[in-house]
Amino acid sequence: MISENFLNDSFSIFTDAAVEATAHGALIRSEPLLHQMNRAFLVTRGVREIMKITRANLIRETVYATGANDGLEPPLDRASIEALLGLGVAVTEMFEESLEDTASWADREANNDQMEVQR
């Protein structure tokens, strides 16, 4: 039987050492973190728009299927929706890799700070 409760795990890509270093002000050079926060904002906004478009398209398909389509533009074709969803997947995969790089940087910085404190 597994004793871990995965609902309590944050599944953070940052190590405990990196999180601890930020809590104590050891990670002073924070430009990479601000850069990632800005990218997160942009990626989130873009993916939100993709979701809004695909959701609206589902509603549009339903309305068109019932024949009650007075003045409504036709739904996007499947290829367009597939392209939008593929774009969302590609952007989030690239962002995930970028976050992993930032997590590695934070861990290196935290370990460097720990080594300096021990000296």
Q: Residue 42 contacts by C-beta under 8 Å, 6 or more apart in sequence?
A: none
Spatial distance between the Cα atoms of 93 and 66, rounded to a whole number of angstroms:
37
pLDDT in tens, 2-27: 566 656 666 677 778 877 777 777 66
pLDDT in tens, 55-69: 999 999 998 888 877
pLDDT value at 92 more than 90? yes
Question: Which one-letter amino acid corresponds to residue 101?
Answer: D
Q: What is the DSSP string of 64-83?
A: HHHT--TTPPPPPPHHHHHH
Taking the domains of the chain in order of start, what are their residue ranges?
30-108
pTM over 0.85: no
Mean pLDDT across the chain, nearest whole number?
84
Spatial distance between the Cα atoms of 104 and 15, rounded to a whole number of angstroms:
9
**How many percent of the chain have pLDDT more than 90?**
39
Token pair of 63, please? Answer: 């309305």
Q: Residue 87 contacts by C-beta under 8 Å, 6 or more apart in sequence?
A: 50
